[in-house]
Structure 1
């Protein structure tokens, strides 16, 4: 009987693809876990089970739960250019954030957990701070150009737009009580994105003036 040829171990390219798949599966599972339970309530074992990997891989790839949370946050910041493309109106940017919230609700739920004080060991997020500062500066520049009314503090205006974009996910029960069916669905998200876009555009048509 002829001998069987020795089995070859996977090549470097195959191992790289496997590693990327594992990392992606862990990240996707982590977003759900953090969004559902917050940082404090999240369990590495549940993340590993959902991802279909050994939980030791979480330490190997991310250094533990905190490193994984940081990686999840970084992945959201990496989406910034697509949500806020150069030359886009603020109305279009607001609509982009609505669709992002509906498509990835657990990421926005994680923000709610953080708002309630569930940050994890390291509360610093330099990338978020830098991004929000740029956002406020852009709102101020749009006010100077006449796209938005000058009488509103750009920080308040930016915060209101961001909060409004997250409303279908964060305030889904209130939306339902108002008669908005399935507020977290893609179809309703598209409808609400258009409505918020109209609202932001209307701000630019409002009479200028600064409150006393």
Structure 2
């Protein structure tokens, strides 16, 4: 009787419920997000060459095989991160946004996600993510230049400033807090990601870009 009671007690809980398809999909999406966040942190800390799939898996708390399953490996992860940045950049540099607002968007994105700038800095040191990603980056830069030239033709920017110059200054200004944090601390006396630095750095930077308006002056 005791055995029957035990069996009944164990059986009372019933079989484990299998996750519904929608739940499995959400779990997969959350796992992918964790892997991508871990990959961005690992690439930012060690560069593409120095990053290891094992390190990314450890950061994400997943099995290495899941990285291969979802992304095909380290190269696929880097490419996916690049695509995500490009998608985010599309909203940061929307055609209807004035350039000074674009500057603010790039600055805020750089502070919120410093890993993007650090990955670019690793490339500047010779850390190559591979020919495919470098080709994609050249195409992205070409699209950014086309947008600057469009703004010049529309009269938003003076044509006396080369498009290449404007784009380079924009990127350099947005990356400065991540690339030169020691200069920010020494010059401003605050942290690069602090509200104080934003309040002191961003307004004059925006005025600088407003000064490039065709026939206009900084206000």
Q: Shared fold (TM-score greater than 0.5)?
A: yes
- Contact 1:32/1:106, CA 8 A, preserved across alignment: yes
Deviation of the 1:124 alpha carbon: 3.6
Deviation of the 1:132 alpha carbon: 2.0
Deviation of the 1:138 alpha carbon: 2.2
> Cα distance 1:180–1:137, how it changes in 2: closer, same or farther (>3 A)?
farther
Matches for 1:191-202 after TM superposition, within 5 Å: 191-202=200-211
- Contact 2:40/2:115, CA 8 A, preserved across alignment: yes
Question: Given the alignment, which residue of 125, 128, 143 partners 1:116?
Answer: 125
- Contact 2:188/2:197, CA 8 A, preserved across alignment: no
What do you get for the CA RMSD once the two structures are aligned?
2.0
- Contact 2:104/2:206, CA 8 A, preserved across alignment: yes
> Cα distance 1:180–1:82, how it changes in 2: closer, same or farther (>3 A)?
farther
Which residue does the alignment assign to 1:97?
Answer: 106
| Stretches of structure 2 lacking an aligned partner (at least 5 in a row) | none
Which residue does the alignment assign to 2:19?
Answer: 10
Q: Structure 2 CA distance, aligned partners of 1:53 and 1:17?
A: 16
Q: Structure 2 CA distance, aligned partners of 1:102 and 1:143?
A: 28
Deviation of the 1:88 alpha carbon: 0.7
- Relative contact order (C-alpha < 8 Å, sep 6+): which is higher? 1
For residues 72-118 of structure 1, what are the alpha-carbon distances to aligned partners after superposition, in whole Å with 9 as ceiling and x for unaligned?
Answer: 11111110222012311111101110000000001110011011111
- Aligned: 1:50 with 2:62: no
| Stretches of structure 1 lacking an aligned partner (at least 5 in a row) | 208-212
- Contact 1:165/1:196, CA 8 A, preserved across alignment: no
Question: Given the alignment, which residue of 175, 178, 183 partners 2:192?
Answer: 183
Q: Structure 1 CA distance, aligned partners of 2:198 and 2:90?
A: 21
Instruction: Provide the TM-score with structure 1 as the length reference.
Output: 0.89
Of stretches 164-173 and 196-205 in structure 1, the one that deviates more from structure 2 is 196-205
For residues 126-158 of structure 1, what are the alpha-carbon distances to aligned partners after superposition, in whole Å with 9 as ceiling and x for unaligned?
Answer: 543333222212222322333222212111211
How many corresponding residue pairs? 207
Higher helix share: 2
SS in 1 for 2:188: coil
SS in 1 for 2:56: helix
Question: Given the alignment, which residue of 18, 32, 45 partners 1:23?
Answer: 32
- Aligned: 1:150 with 2:156: no
Which residue does the alignment assign to 1:70?
Answer: 79
Deviation of the 1:206 alpha carbon: 5.5
> Cα distance 1:46–1:160, how it changes in 2: closer, same or farther (>3 A)?
same
User: Highest CA radius of gyration, 1 or 2?
Assistant: 2
